[in-house]
C-alpha cells in the first residue's frame, strides 16, 4: 500500500462545474499499510523482511521496489502485473503554505481474491520465510484480498507451533481469523464493530455501544484468545493480556502528549512496529505500550503518514 499526497494550489472556480480548480505542484509518495509497518520496524534497527503482492509495471509498484531497497528491507514480493497497486491519493493544499487542507482522497485498488497461481506462490514464499524462524511476525490485513481466512489461520497455527510472536492489525471482518495470535491492535471503532457481530451471531450478548473501554478490551481478549491493545484516540490505550484475568487487570495508558498534532494516519502502524521490536526482544507488553506512546508522540507531529524514523527514540 502506498500513500500519495498530491500537493496543489487553488486557481479559481471551474467554468465547467461549481468546483475548485487546482494547480498541481508535486506528488509525494510514502509507504502505507504493511509497508509503513516494515519501514518503521527497519528504522528501529531490526533486520526486516516484507512479503506481499506488487505490480512492478506501475509507478507506485516501482516506488515500492526502489524505496524498500533504499531502506534495506529484504523483499519477497509476488509479482502480479494484472492487479493494480493499492494507492491512496490525497489531494491537498500546499504543505508549505499552511494550514494544510485535504480536499479529496482517491483510492486505487483491487479487493478481488488472488488468482490461484498467485495464491500458491504467496503460500510457498510464506512457508520459506517461516522456516527461518523469525523473531517476530507482523501482519496487516486491510481486506484487500492478499490475506484470506485460510492463510490467516495457517499463519496463527504455524507461528504458535514455532513459538514465534504474531502481531496483527486487522479489520473487524477478519479479526476472528487471527484467534490465538500473540497481539491484536484494534481501534475503538473496529473493536465495537467486531463485538456487534458477536452479538448478532449470538456468541455474546453485550451491547457494544454500552461497554466501557476496559470491558471492551477484556471482551476481545477473551473472545479472540489473544492479548489486546485497544486504542481509543484521546482516551489513550487499554491493554488486556489474555493470560491475566483478575479484577482490574486491564491496564490504561494515557494518550501520547503532542504539541503540534499533524495527522493520525499511520498511527496504528507505528504502534505495531514498536510492539514488534518489543516482541523480538521478549519485552513485556506494558513496556512495549509505554515505548509506543513515546514513538507516537513524535510521529503524530510529522506531516503526512505517521512513521518511525531512525534515531526517533531508543527504548532498549
Place 5 in a pLDDT band, splitting at 50, 70 and 90. Answer: very high
pLDDT of 246 above 60 = no
Which tens digit of pLDDT belongs to each residue from 27-54?
999 999 999 999 999 998 899 999 999 9
Alpha helices in 162-236 (DSSP H): 188-200, 213-224
Place 302 in a pLDDT band, splitting at 50, 70 and 90. Answer: confident
Q: How large is the average pLDDT for residues 185-209?
A: 80
d(CA 218, CA 156): 21
What is the grid cell recorded at 295? 514513538
Q: Could you identify the residue written with the cell 477473551?
A: 222
Q: Could you identify the residue written with the cell 513496556?
A: 287
Phi, psi (rounded to 5 degrees) for 91: -90, 125
Return the pLDDT at 309. Answer: 85
Q: Which helix (H) or strand (E) holds 102?
A: strand 102-108
Task: Give the count of beta carbons closer than 10 Å to the beta carbon of residue 132.
Answer: 7
List Cα–Cα distances, 92 to 89, 101, 103, 303, in angstroms.
10, 5, 5, 12
Phi, psi (rounded to 5 degrees) for 66: -70, -45
pLDDT of 15 above 90 = yes
Domain 2-9+23-299 classified CATH 3.40.50.80?
Answer: no
pTM for this predicted structure: 0.90
Return the pLDDT at 249. Answer: 86
Q: Report whether 166 contacts 184 (CB < 8 A).
A: no
pLDDT of 301 above 90 = no
Return the pLDDT at 262. Answer: 60
The percentage of the chain sitting over the pLDDT mark of 90, rounded to a whole number, equals 72
**DSSP classification of residue 30:** E
Nearest Cα residue to 280 out of 132, 135, 134: 135
Which tens digit of pLDDT belongs to each residue from 109-168?
989 999 999 999 999 999 999 999 999 999 999 999 999 999 999 999 999 999 999 999
Query: Between residues 269 and 257, which one has the greater pLDDT?
Result: 269
Return the pLDDT at 63. Answer: 95
Place 247 in a pLDDT band, splitting at 50, 70 and 90. Answer: low
Return the pLDDT at 297. Answer: 84
For all residues of the chain together, what is the average pLDDT?
90
Q: Which helix (H) or strand (E) holds 116?
A: helix 116-131
Q: Could you identify the residue written with the cell 490504561?
A: 252
List Cα–Cα distances, 81 to 183, 231, 232, in angstroms.
33, 36, 38
Return the pLDDT at 194. Answer: 94
d(CA 307, CA 38): 10
pLDDT of 293 above 70 = yes
Return the pLDDT at 316. Answer: 53
Which tens digit of pLDDT belongs to each residue from 67-112?
999 999 999 999 999 998 899 999 998 877 777 788 999 999 989 9
Contacts of 229 (CB under 8 A, 6+ apart): 183, 184, 185, 237, 238, 239, 271, 275, 285, 289
- Preceding omega of 99 cis (within 30 degrees of 0): yes
**Distance from the Cα of residue 44 to its chain's centroid:** 16
Return the pLDDT at 65. Answer: 96
Return the pLDDT at 201. Answer: 67
What is the grid cell recorded at 143? 481486506
d(CA 177, CA 18): 46
Alpha helices in the chain (DSSP H): 33-43, 59-71, 116-131, 149-161, 188-200, 213-224, 267-280, 285-299
Return the pLDDT at 310. Answer: 84
Return the pLDDT at 267. Answer: 85
Which tens digit of pLDDT belongs to each residue from 264-281?
778 889 999 999 999 999
The percentage of the chain sitting over the pLDDT mark of 70, rounded to a whole number, equals 92
pLDDT of 260 above 70 = no
Structural Rg of the chain based on CA atoms: 20
pLDDT of 208 above 80 = no
Nearest Cα residue to 181 out of 271, 242, 270: 242
Amino acid at each position: 500500500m502506498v500513500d500519495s499526497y498530491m500537493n496543489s494550489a487553488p486557481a479559481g472556480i471551474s467554468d465547467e462545474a461549481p468546483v475548485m480548480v487546482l494547480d498541481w505542484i508535486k506528488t509525494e509518495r510514502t509507504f502505507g499499510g504493511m509497508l509503513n509497518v516494515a519501514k518503521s520496524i527497519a528504522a528501529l534497527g531490526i533486520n526486516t523482511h516484507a512479503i506481499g503482492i506488487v505490480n512492478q509495471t506501475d509507478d507506485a509498484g516501482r516506488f515500492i521496489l526502489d524505496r524498500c531497497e533504499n531502506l534495506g528491507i529484504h523483499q519477497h514480493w509476488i509479482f502480479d502485473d494484472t492487479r493494480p497497486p493499492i494507492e491512496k491519493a490525497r489531494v491537498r493544499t500546499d504543505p508549505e503554505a499552511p494550514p494544510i487542507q485535504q480536499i479529496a482522497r482517491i483510492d486505487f485498488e483491487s479487493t478481488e481474491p488472488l488468482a490461484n497461481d498467485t495464491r500458491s506462490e504467496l503460500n510457498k514464499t510464506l512457508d520459506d520465510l517461516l522456516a527461518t524462524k523469525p523473531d517476530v511476525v507482523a501482519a496487516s490485513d486491510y481486506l484487500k484480498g492478499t490475506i484470506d481466512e485460510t492463510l490467516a489461520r495457517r499463519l496463527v497455527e504455524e507461528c504458535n507451533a514455532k513459538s514465534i510472536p504474531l502481531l496483527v492489525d486487522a479489520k473487524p471482518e477478519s479479526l476472528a481469523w487471527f484467534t490465538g495470535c500473540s497481539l491484536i491492535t484494534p481501534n475503538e471503532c473496529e473493536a465495537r464493530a467486531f463485538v456487534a457481530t458477536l452479538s448478532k451471531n449470538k456468541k455474546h450478548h453485550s451491547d457494544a455501544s454500552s461497554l466501557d473501554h476496559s470491558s471492551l478490551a477484556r471482551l476481545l481478549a477473551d473472545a479472540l484468545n489473544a492479548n489486546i491493545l485497544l486504542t481509543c484516540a484521546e482516551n489513550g490505550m487499554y491493554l488486556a493480556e489474555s493470560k491475566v484475568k483478575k479484577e482490574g487487570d486491564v491496564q490504561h495508558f494515557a494518550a501520547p502528549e503532542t504539541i503540534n498534532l499533524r495527522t493520525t494516519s499511520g498511527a496504528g502502524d507505528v504502534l505495531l512496529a514498536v510492539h514488534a521490536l518489543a516482541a523480538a526482544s521478549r519485552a513485556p507488553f506494558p513496556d512495549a505500550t509505554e515505548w509506543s506512546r513515546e514513538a507516537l508522540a513524535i510521529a503524530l507531529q510529522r506531516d503526512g503518514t505517521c512513521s518511525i524514523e531512525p534515531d526517533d527514540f531508543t527504548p532498549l
